[in-house]
Every structure is written in C-alpha cells, then in structure tokens.
Amino acid sequence: MDIVVQKYGGTSVGDLEKIKQVAARIKQKKESGCRLVVVVSAMGKTTDNLLSMAYNLSSRPKPRELDVLMSTGEQISISLLSIALNEIGCKARSFTGQQVGIITEGYHTKSKIADINSSIIIEELEKDSVVIIAGFQGVNGNNEITTLGRGGSDTTAVALAAKLGAVCEIFTDVDGIYTVDPRIYPNARKLECISYEEMMEMASLGAGVMHPRSIEIGHKYKVPIYVAMSTGEFPGTFIKESDDFMEKTVITGMAVDNNDAMVTVINLPYSTRSISRIFQSLAERHVNVDMISQTTPVNGLINVSFTIPKNDLAAAMDGLEELKPELGPFGIDTDTAITKLSVVGMGMRTQSGVAARMFTALSESNVDLKIITTSEIRISCAIDPKDQNRAVTAIAKEFDL
Amino acid sequence: MDIVVQKYGGTSVGDLEKIKQVAARIKQKKESGCRLVVVVSAMGKTTDNLLSMAYNLSSRPKPRELDVLMSTGEQISISLLSIALNEIGCKARSFTGQQVGIITEGYHTKSKIADINSSIIIEELEKDSVVIIAGFQGVNGNNEITTLGRGGSDTTAVALAAKLGAVCEIFTDVDGIYTVDPRIYPNARKLECISYEEMMEMASLGAGVMHPRSIEIGHKYKVPIYVAMSTGEFPGTFIKESDDFMEKTVITGMAVDNNDAMVTVINLPYSTRSISRIFQSLAERHVNVDMISQTTPVNGLINVSFTIPKNDLAAAMDGLEELKPELGPFGIDTDTAITKLSVVGMGMRTQSGVAARMFTALSESNVDLKIITTSEIRISCAIDPKDQNRAVTAIAKEFDL
C-alpha cells in the first residue's frame, strides 16, 4: 500500500473547526486506501504569540529555551488533531519530534534534520493508525529539543516522505505556486508544475509558499511534492524534476521579497583578507548573506554591499563593529527600505539575453537598481520599495508571467 | 551546599509580570547561597484552556493524547522562567519531565512517579545553574508523555526533594495551611505546623492547598515541606513529622469538599461477591471511591452508597449498568448535591469521644447526615450543601478551629 505524507500549515489548523475539517479530509484520504503520515504546524499565530512572550521577558532569549518554548505549538496541534481523528473513528496517534526520532544537528532555532528513525512510524502504520507528527521540531544528540526555523514543518514533511519513499502533499492557504505572488501581481498565473531547482530559487527568494530546505531535500531524494489548498477545492502545483517542456519557458516565476536589509561597508581599506574577514564574522553569527557587490578600489578603498534578512541586522552590526580595530576605520550604512526582485527559470540556462531583457524593462520604467546578482537560473536585483509595483508589472509583461 | 526544591503554582506564574517577580525571588534565594531546583506549573488557566479545546473536539478524548496536550502548559512555563532568569544574569536551564528523566508508571493522565534520574540535575547544579523542571509530567517506559493528575506539580517537587535529599518549598496563592479554608470560614486560624498524616487526610479531603500524593511521598521520605505565599510576605506552614506538642490538639483542621457525588445502588440482591464486583468494576475504571456505607439486608436486598469525584460519575454509571445482567436487577440513585465535611487530627488517636462531640454539634444545628466514615485520624460525613455554613460553624466552634 502506498504511503502518503500530508502536511497541514498553521492556517489550515488555525482553530478547532478547521482541525475538524482537516480530520474529515484525512479520514476520507485514508479510506481511499493509503497509509497516512500527517505533519502539522502550530495553530494560527501560536508561534508568534509564544515568541512575543519570550521577547517580552528578554531582548535576547536563549535559543535553547526558545526551542523548548516554540515546540509546544506543534505539540498542541498534533494532540488535538489526533483527538479529532479518533473522535470520528479514524485511529490516530500523535508523536513529537523527540518521540518519533527526528534527529537534528546544528544550532538551536536553526537546526537541520540529520536522520529520522522510521521504525516507530512503520510500526504504527502497520497497526493501521494515522501517524501524526509535530512539524518544525526534533531532538539533537544531547536530548535537547530543537526547531528547524520558521516554516520548518515543510522540511519535516518532505524529509519524512524521502525516508518513507512516499509522496508529499503540502496543504496550505494558497492553492498552488504562481508565477508571481498574486497579492502583489493579481494577473499572475498558477503553474501546473515547477522544477525543484526553480522552486528552490523561488522559495529562497521569499516566495513564501514553501521552506527552501524542504525543496532541497525533495530534489535530492526525488520526492514528488504537490502543493494545494487545504480545502482541496482547486488543482494545485506539482514540484518535480524538470523536463524539456518546462525549459521551453524562459522565466517560470518572479519572487518579491521585502524582508531583507542592505548593509554597505564604506571606505574599507582594500584587501581580499578584509572581505573574507567580514563574511567570516557574519557566518560565525549565522547571518545568511544573499546578494553581495563590491566596488573597484579607489585610492585603496572599496565599498562592499550585501543583503541579509532584516532579523539578522543587529547581529551583523555587532560583527562589523568588532572588526573595526582589526580592519581599520570604515563606515557602515544600512538600508532597510529595499525590495528584492528575482526572476527564476530553468530556460535561462539555454537562452541568452534574459538579463538584458529584464534590465531594459526596468530602465524603461525608470526603476533604479541598488544591487544585482545572478545565478545559473535566476537574476535578482534590489530596488526602492516605492518602485515595486512598476517594476513587477514591467517584468511580468516582458516575460509573460 | 544545601539543595532547595521550590515549587511555584499556576497562579504564581500566571502572567509575564509574575514570572519576572518569581525570577527575581529565585535569584535572591540563589545568591543567599544554596543550589536551587525549581518546579513550575502551567501559567494560570492554561491547563483548563487546553482541556476545553480537547473536550470541544471529543467528549472522550484519548488520555494518551490529553497528556501530550496538557504537558505543553508546563513546558511553556519552564522556558519562559528560564528566559527571565538568564535575562537578569541568573544562569538557568529548563527541562521537561522527559528530558530530566522523571519516569512514571500507570495510566495516562493519572500516572505515578516510579523513579527520577537525578544525574542531569546534579550535573547542572554543579555547573551553578538553577535547574527548572516542568511539574506534573513525566515519561513512561514506552517513551510516552504522561501526566500525574491535577496538582501533580506538588508531587514532582516533593519527589525531587526526596531524591535529592533537599528541603521543599511550595509557593502558592495561599499563605499557609489553615484549620479550615478561610474562604469558607473566615475565622479559621493559620497553622504553624501540621503533621504529614494530618496534611495527607486534609489534602485527600479536598483542602486544595497540596496534592495528597505529594504529602504521602514527603511522609515516606521525611522531606521537610514549607508551604507559603509566592510573594513571601507571610510566614507559612511547615509540614513535618508529628510531635507530642501537635498531638495535644484533638482536631487540627477541617476540610470541606463539594466535588464529590454520591451514588446509591438500591435493592441489590445481597452477597459479598456482588459488593466486591461493584467496587472491582469501579476500580477497573480508575474511579476513586471515598466513603462507603451499606445497609443491613432486608428481604435479601441491600442498599450500598458510596461517594466518588463528580468527574468520575459517567464512568461509574457505565460500570454499574454493565453489572446489571450479572448481579440481577437493581436501581441506581445519584446525588450530586453533597458536601463532604471532615475533621482531622492526630490527637484523635489518643482521645475518645471526638465523633460524639462532632455529631452532637451537627445535630444541635439541625444538620442531617447522608453518610459517615471514619479513619484513625479523621471523621467524615456527607451533608446537604444548604446546611454547609451552619455545619462548618458548629464544628469549628466545638473544636476551637
């Protein structure tokens, strides 16, 4: 019998009525004849509420304790969903990350799944139970509760599907993957399918539908992923290996991200070592740097700009201030008013001139670019947020999104 | 260095301000020079809110899942308290029941502590950390999350103190143990000390200050227990071994309990086996029977009355209905309008006539008795709730409470 891993996000289990609806859908799916593993997120705003309590008590709460705190959100959801399922005669058992053996490594609040002990799950599936697993959490080698970072429930679901050789269905509050976030560009089209590579870029770039690491795992283990609305009303989007058909489109989608800040290190005495020390210091603080640009030396001084998540800004500033005695005097400029626009497409590998078309479209719309980076299948640029709508429309029209 | 186990109840950590106050008190205590283990309950009404969600989804939620659900309450408290302590420079680490190794046995939602692995606690104390432990919860031999029943955090605290050879301080929202609940009888006196035996009876009888099992453990391991207000303003009550001084008082206190229901099995064909089958059936359903009385056989038929917690009434009725085919036709009468009054005192063992004094006082106040039971150090009776105030005053005056 086939195993299906389903994941329901926080909005899908946002209140008791929705939990009952999800339970009914799970029961129906199970009666259609498959073995079901269900991963759930915390209900609605639970995680935010827990975090706000922690930050009320401390401006820098210990990450270890944040993990103990945040993991309760999913623990509440799994038990309630299990209670709802058993109530309608569908045998179910809930498991925390620790109980089911989701072993993690790395730092608290940003852990990665190292292994999953599938024996308990298999045993429960053989007893004909629906196995309900807390998303987003695990346990490290010291028996410490860990979490996988925001959106980590997707990672839990795809990793479980990989381990169990299952397909993975991600149910969320959007009905699939769009060429552009429809809240930003209402004319966006829903994609029938998208390749892992494209989805990974889109997810990394802030197209919030799925957690980037989950796509990475899906890609690595070739897990078929289906993203759809938790009410099941509309056909969703398949995430799968790319094929020729997909590559005929130059640009598959565009991501718009307002969560980054840009930092510029001004008049830094130029040396390769200085630049490496800066990014070393950021890495030590687990600050994820995305775009980087460097000016050519003028009088032996350079400017280095980079974008980071706004949340990491304080940590980045600490790191830079600490380097001043070592690297000599330099200025620091921060810009939290940036919008990152990215276009993504497998077709870019075989078709040239994409960057030229994009920048021409932007320039004709009088959009200034603050910083630009490119990879094999994406082009990103940071712009002023006030230009966002004009820029999105220009690019969407140019590439028929 | 001495180890002190402190327990803070749900009201003491009812909101973030109160958590900060508790953190400040813990820091002060630690700086006075002792090693501290702190047990906390769930914040305020958290457990009630979690339970009401579960019962909204199902009238009979699986106890295993209720434990997964309820244990989150204490997990939230421990992490927040640890965050608050670290914020004010007091090193602290939180542990769930599973993490610290509180091993339980028995049924979900009513588990008992079988053992505590103290090695992690000792290790953390030696690192000069305050060790914060989730009350009320543990883990059984199958790595299932378990809970100890309402008020179980007291049991966690006293069991930890027993294991660590520590004294136990119970901080709660009342400032000590009174002869009678002051909300019921405002003239009640606060006791400076009370024996384990007396406190155990008082606690079992619904004097809500402490969980009965916690006193039992305290008694068995001779743990010095101090009950006081979490604000620390007033001197509290010591619970300790009885001494001659204590036994000079005939009655130490009175408990008033409105949480019981009385069940009467009517016209049961008389046989010892029938009676034993009834209480067997209740025990199988984990229904705690308190008072029992049986009439003498008339025409081979008897009436058997007993009191049970109101919460167990549905389970008890199920058990009795199932016995009808086996034990022959009998009627069942239930009375949820009863008040249980109990007087408790070590002095009762050496002084006679206590029951006579009590029943005379009640009869002179025109209070009817529905059922009576006695033990070596207590006398209980069930009365109509409308007679409660008159009965309490009469008994308090008679025994100078």
Mutate to test the interface with A, among B46, B83, B85, B137 (most CBs of A within 10 A): B83
CA angle A164, A168, A171 (to 5 degrees): 145
DSSP readout, B93-156?
EEE-HHHHTEEEESSTTS-EEEEE--HHHHHHHHTTPEEEEETTEEE-TTS-EEE--TTHHHHH
CA terminus-to-terminus distance, chain B? 40
Q: How far is A99 from chain B (nearest CA, A)?
A: 7
Which residues between 24 and 43 in chain A have a beta carbon less than 8 angstroms from any beta carbon of chain B? none
B69 CB neighbours in chain A (<8 A) are 75-76, 79-80, 83
Which residues between 126 and 155 in chain A have a beta carbon less than 8 angstroms from any beta carbon of chain B? 143-145
Quote ipTM for the complex.
Answer: 0.79
Q: In the prediction, which pLDDT does B213 show?
A: 84
B18 and chain A: CB distance < 8 Å anywhere?
Answer: no
DSSP readout, A51-63?
HHHHHHH-SS--H
**The two three-digit tokens of residue A112, written as one number:** 């990665």
Between chain A and chain B, how many beta carbons pairs sit less than 8 Å apart?
108
Q: Where in the sequence of chain B do the CATH 3.40.1160.10 domains occur?
A: 3-173
Q: In the prediction, which pLDDT does A247 show?
A: 56
pLDDT in tens, A225-271: 999 987 776 788 999 988 766 556 778 889 888 889 999 999 998 88
B260: nearest Cα among B289, B232, B302: B289
Q: In the prediction, which pLDDT does B63 show?
A: 95
B167 and chain A: CB distance < 8 Å anywhere?
Answer: no
State the virtual CA torsion across A273, A278, A280, A286 in degrees, nearest 10. -170
The amino acid at residue A255 is: A
A78 and chain B: CB distance < 8 Å anywhere?
Answer: yes
> Do B76 and A61 count as a contact with CB atoms less than 8 A apart?
no
CATH of B260-335, one of 3.30.70.260, 3.40.50.970, 3.60.20.10, 1.10.10.10: 3.30.70.260
Q: In the prediction, which pLDDT does A208 show?
A: 63
pTM of the model: 0.80
**Any residues with CB less than 8 A from the CB of B46 and at least 6 apart, and which?**
B10, B73, B76
B62 CB neighbours in chain A (<8 A) are 82-83, 86
Q: In the prediction, which pLDDT does A245 show?
A: 60
> Do B83 and A64 count as a contact with CB atoms less than 8 A apart?
no
> Do A68 and B75 count as a contact with CB atoms less than 8 A apart?
yes
Q: In the prediction, which pLDDT does B329 show?
A: 86
Which residues between 253 and 292 in chain B have a beta carbon less than 8 angstroms from any beta carbon of chain A? none
Select from A19, A68, A83 the Cβ nearest to the Cβ of B79.
A68
> Do A50 and B16 count as a contact with CB atoms less than 8 A apart?
no
B201: nearest Cα among B157, B156, B239: B239
> Do B58 and A82 count as a contact with CB atoms less than 8 A apart?
no
> Do A62 and B19 count as a contact with CB atoms less than 8 A apart?
no
> Do B65 and A72 count as a contact with CB atoms less than 8 A apart?
no
B80 and chain A: CB distance < 8 Å anywhere?
Answer: yes
A349 and chain B: CB distance < 8 Å anywhere?
Answer: no
Which residues between 100 and 119 in chain A have a beta carbon less than 8 angstroms from any beta carbon of chain B? none
Q: In the prediction, which pLDDT does A52 show?
A: 95
Q: In the prediction, which pLDDT does A205 show?
A: 65
| Percent of chain B whose pLDDT exceeds 90 | 58
Q: In the prediction, which pLDDT does A246 show?
A: 58
> Do A68 and B87 count as a contact with CB atoms less than 8 A apart?
no
How far, CA to CA in Å, does A270 sit from each of A199, A302, A350, B18, B142? 37, 6, 37, 53, 61
Q: Which residue of A has its CA nearest to B51?
A: A80
CA distance B27 to B87: 11
Q: Choose between B271 and B104: higher pLDDT.
A: B104
pLDDT at B328 over 90: no
pLDDT at B339 over 90: yes
pLDDT at B243 over 80: no
Q: Choose between B109 and A207: higher pLDDT.
A: B109
Q: Where in the sequence of chain A do the CATH 3.30.70.260 domains occur?
A: 260-335
With cut-offs at 50, 70 and 90, classify the pLDDT of residue B3: very high
> Do B80 and A69 count as a contact with CB atoms less than 8 A apart?
yes
Q: In the prediction, which pLDDT does B387 show?
A: 93
**The two three-digit tokens of residue B61, written as one number:** 């939620």
Instruction: At B329, give phi and psi (nearest 5°).
Output: -65, 135
A93 CB neighbours in chain B (<8 A) are 64-65
Q: In the prediction, which pLDDT does A109 show?
A: 92
B71 and chain A: CB distance < 8 Å anywhere?
Answer: yes
B98 CB neighbours in chain A (<8 A) are 98
A21 and chain B: CB distance < 8 Å anywhere?
Answer: no
pLDDT at B1 over 70: no
Which segment, B47-56, B204-213, B297-306, is predicted with the most confidence on average? B47-56
Region B90-96 average pLDDT: 97
**Which parts of chain A register pLDDT below 70?**
1, 204-208, 233, 244-248
Region B136-161 average pLDDT: 93
How far, CA to CA in Å, does A136 sit from each of A70, B55, B97, B228? 9, 26, 21, 40
Residue A289 DSSP label:
-
Select from B66, B76, B143 the Cβ nearest to the Cβ of A72.
B76
pLDDT in tens, A12-56: 999 999 999 999 999 999 999 999 999 999 999 999 999 999 999
Select from B20, B57, B79 the Cβ nearest to the Cβ of A80.
B57
Kind plus residue range of the DSSP H or E element containing A72: helix A63-87
Specify the fold of B3-173: Carbamate kinase (3.40.1160)
A80 CB neighbours in chain B (<8 A) are 53-54, 57, 65, 69
Region B245-269 average pLDDT: 84
A54 CB neighbours in chain B (<8 A) are 79-80, 83
Select from A53, A57, A99 the Cβ nearest to the Cβ of B87.
A57
The lowest-confidence range among A346-350, A361-365, B20-24, B298-302 is: A346-350
Q: Which residue of B has its CA nearest to A142?
A: B99
Q: In the prediction, which pLDDT does A72 show?
A: 97
How far, CA to CA in Å, does A229 sit from each of A77, A134, A201, A232, A388? 19, 20, 22, 5, 28
B84 CB neighbours in chain A (<8 A) are 57-58
